[in-house]
Amino acid sequence: MGYKVGIVGATGAVGQEFVSLMKERNFPVSELKLFASARSAGKQIEANGQTYTIEEATKTCFDGLDYVLFSASGSISKELCPAAAAAGAVAVDNSSAFRMDPNVPLVVPEINPEAARNNNGIIANPNCSTAITLMGAYPLHKVFGLKRMFASTYQAVSGSGAEAMQELGDQLKAWAADKPMEKNVYPHQIAFNALPHVDSFLDTGYTREEMKMENEGRKIMDLPDMKVSCTCVRVPVMRSHSISINAEFERPVDIEEARAAIEAFPGVDLIDSPADNLYPMPLDFAGKVNCGVGRIRRDCAFDNGLAFWVVGDQLWKGAALNAIQIMECLIK
Amino acid sequence: MGYKVGIVGATGAVGQEFVSLMKERNFPVSELKLFASARSAGKQIEANGQTYTIEEATKTCFDGLDYVLFSASGSISKELCPAAAAAGAVAVDNSSAFRMDPNVPLVVPEINPEAARNNNGIIANPNCSTAITLMGAYPLHKVFGLKRMFASTYQAVSGSGAEAMQELGDQLKAWAADKPMEKNVYPHQIAFNALPHVDSFLDTGYTREEMKMENEGRKIMDLPDMKVSCTCVRVPVMRSHSISINAEFERPVDIEEARAAIEAFPGVDLIDSPADNLYPMPLDFAGKVNCGVGRIRRDCAFDNGLAFWVVGDQLWKGAALNAIQIMECLIK
């Protein structure tokens, strides 16, 4: 009659999407338990017309659950995902804790569903920019064979959580009222700005976000030798990420074949009629299941290359939706 | 005691920067004439504490002038720049009309000043994104030898003129007041959005802006065989452009050498201390003479490659400032 599902991090931006999306997609839930930190335990939240009491997420809270969706910090996932798996549940983890673990599948269901079925109790949900980028890159890879890829992102503030969305809104409201802006989430003002800084910096000069895109892309597409270079940038957009991609392929490219490959792939919409001002835009993809691919053209700097543009909802395909799609793929 | 200078398009966003920047930089002006379309003729505008009456720009208005700065449409430039040159002036044109004309030098004074001195009465000022990109790319080219370049832009609305800056502000004020937004300048809402659409589309799927960056970069750096691929995107930022660049070089790269090359180059600031959250941001470069270069790192997808990030004021280095620097270089 349904599955017993737990959500760790239920009070966050992604956690709330978990709850509403499962309902919206009719995921068969017989029991839903919402977990968060001790600080939030006891709080009541309304979701899908019901009232839920938040329980503290602990190592012993997962008994009897079939699936546990995690959207908390990496350290919480590291501690609690194995406990959920040991309790017999499958943990679908949205943090980066297990993504590169060779014993944990990293899954975009349209790309590598078989990896999800081959799990040891933990499945990793990819980084948001990675999942969205691959929804454009993978269908083209299947036709032409990906060899090298450059990606520059235009990332929404939703990727930094609900407080960041609030901060962008507050800054713009302050600006409109001619008042000083405040910043807490980001080290710099995000309104009217672009921050080439998503996640923390490594000694190499890359950010962790940039390396996630590079490494996770190789793992999900099973292309260990693919060359990838990414630049991740935060822009004053609320909740959809956009990615500008230049890709080099093994085989000669053809624009009509490329468009056909995107059109035939599940989970993506081809929006590519520039003469009519039609291309994917972040504003149009908030709250959309599918990602959008457009601006497909022959790359000017590669012989067998394509330049293209992918957009997707960071909270959905970039996080909550993909995790639920992983569960859907397991119960099929 | 000074030069007689005319400005065509004096009422526009760039035209107004011409007037204030010449004053700020103490460009020796003995007489200043402001021209615009017949519609604006007779209007009075205040600039630098003086009142100027706008005159209609015609083929016969340039007599006696030494320099005429143009910031109007390409068709007006095509008609009037030759008239200014025939009247004995040097026309410095901010439109794209003459940029790829082999008889017209296309100049960024820090890069190819000798080309400016070798003019036939018309000098072209480059596209805004091109000039700003090259301020980061050229110093690195001098050390390592540019071979191939991918650029994705984050372009401010100032590039579409004063009305676009107004439109972004109006949309955000409407949003803050919970009122519907209006759009006139762009085909789509720009607030909270990213439009992969700058200038008009060609049949190849590229925009004119993207091809300007590719072709103008080759001409200014005198690198006719350089491979370049660009994606131009409008973001809700007021007046500075940012560019994410992946570049492949002839020779092995070294990060410290790259940083030293940027530091030694006139007109650019090295802002590259990610551990301290220091990198160039568009908000910091509005009204700055120098462009900023940062996020310099070894490219992950090229053997001899660098990834980096360049920011500059679209109205200044991307337009008015560069044109005035061309005049400065001629009177030196």
- What does residue B243 show for φ and ψ, rounded to 5 degrees? -135, 130
Q: Is the ipTM of this complex over 0.90?
A: yes
Best of A149, A208, A235 to disrupt the B interface by mutation (most B CBs within 10 Å)? A235
What proportion of chain B, given as a percentage, has pLDDT over 70? 100
Two structure tokens written together for B38: 């017949």
Indicate the helix (H) or strand (E) that contains B16: helix B13-24
What percent of chain B lies above the pLDDT cut of 90? 97
Of residues B196, B229, B296, nearest to A300 (C-beta)? B229
- B282 DSSP 8-state letter: H
Q: What is the pLDDT of residue B74?
A: 95
Q: H or E stretch including A213?
A: helix A208-221
- For A172, the closest of B176, B297, B299 (CB atoms) is B176
- State pLDDT tens for residues B228-287: 999 999 999 999 999 999 999 999 999 999 999 999 999 999 999 999 999 999 999 999
Catalytic status, residue A128: yes
Residues A3, A66: Cα–Cα separation, whole Å: 6
Dist. CA B97–CA B76, nearest whole Å: 9
Interface test with A, best of B202, B276, B300 (most A CBs within 10 A): B300
Q: Are strands A44-47 and A50-53 parallel, antiparallel or unpaired?
A: antiparallel
Which member of B149, B193, B302 has the closest CB to residue A281?
Answer: B193
Q: In A, which residues are within 8 Å of B246 by CB distance?
A: 150, 229, 231, 246
Catalytic residues of B: 128, 241
Q: What is the mean pLDDT of chain B?
A: 97
pLDDT band at B47 (very low <50, low <70, confident <90, very high): confident
Residue A97 CA to residue A100 CA, distance in Å, equals 8
Provide DSSP, A274-295.
GGGTB---HHHHTT-SSEEEEE
Q: How far apart are CA A258 and CA A272, in angstroms?
A: 11
Summarize pLDDT for A237-292 with one digit per residue, the tens: 999 999 999 999 999 999 999 999 999 999 999 999 999 999 999 999 999 999 99
> Which among B288, B271, B268, B289 is positioned nearest to B280, based on CA atoms?
B271
Q: Would you say A291 and A267 are in contact if contact means Cβ atoms under 8 Å apart? A: yes
pTM: 0.97
| A281 neighbors B194 (Cβ within 8 angstroms) | yes
| Interface membership of A205 toward B (CB under 8 Å) | yes
Structure tokens at B166: 């107004």
Report the gap between the CA of B206 and the closest CA in chain A (Å). Answer: 7
Decide if B300 and A229 are in contact by the 8 Å CB cutoff. yes
Region label for A275, one of left (φ > 0), alpha (ψ between -120 and 50) or beta (otherwise): alpha
Q: What is the mean pLDDT of residues B290-317?
A: 98
In this structure, are residues B203 and B125 in contact, taking their beta carbons and an 8 Å threshold? no
Q: What is the mean pLDDT of chain A?
A: 97
How far is A7 from A18, CA to CA, in rounded Å? 8
pLDDT digits (tens, 9 = 90+) for A14-35: 999 999 999 999 999 999 999 9
Nearest to B242 by CA among B146, B313, B322, B315: B313
DSSP annotation string for B58-123: -TTS-TT-SEEEE-S-HHHHHHHHHHHHHTTPEEEE-SSSSTT-TTS-B--TTT-HHHHHS-SSEE
pLDDT digits (tens, 9 = 90+) for A151-179: 999 999 999 999 999 999 999 999 999 99
> HEC states along A118-141?
CCCCEEECCCHHHHHHHHHHHHHH
Indicate the pLDDT class of residue A293, thresholds 50, 70 and 90.
Answer: very high
Rounded-to-integer distance, Cα B321 and Cα B17, Å: 8
User: A49 pLDDT exceeds 90?
Assistant: no
Give residue B49's pLDDT band: very low, low, confident or very high (50, 70, 90): confident
pLDDT computed for residue B117 by the predictor: 94
Chain B nearest C-alpha distance from A68 (Å): 33
Among residues A48, A83, A78, A47, the alpha carbon closest in space to that of A63 is found at A83
Cβ contact (<8 Å) for A298 and B204? yes
**Domains of chain A as residue ranges with CATH:** 3-125+319-331 (3.40.50.720), 130-313 (3.30.360.10)
- The reply to whether residue B192 touches residue A283, judged by beta carbons under 8 angstroms, is yes
Nearest CA to B240 out of B273, B284, B196 is that of B284
Cβ–Cβ under 8 Å, residues B100 and B257: no
Q: What is the mean pLDDT of residues B30-38?
A: 96
pLDDT recorded at residue B209: 98
- The rounded percent of chain A whose pLDDT value lies above 90 is 97
Rounded mean pLDDT of B298-317? Answer: 98
Q: How far is A237 from chain B, CA to nearest CA, in Å?
A: 4
In chain A, the percentage of residues whose pLDDT exceeds 70 is 100
What pLDDT sits at residue B308? Answer: 99
Instruction: Spot the catalytic one: A61, A81, A230, A241.
Output: A241
CB contact under 8 A, A192 and B282: yes
The CA-atom distances, in angstroms, between B323 and each of B70, B111, B120, B236 are 9, 14, 16, 26
Which A residues, 289 through 328, put their C-beta within 8 Å of a C-beta on chain B?
A: 294-302, 305, 307, 309
**Chain A to chain B Cβ contacts (< 8 Å):** 173
Distance in angstroms (rounded) separating the CA atoms of residues B191 and A187 = 22
B275 touches chain A (CB under 8 A): yes
**Structural tokens at position B191:** 């607030």
Distance CA(B244)–CA(B295), nearest Å, equals 9
Q: Please report the pLDDT score of residue B35 as a whole number.
A: 97
Distance in Å, alpha carbon of A255 to nearest chain B alpha carbon: 10
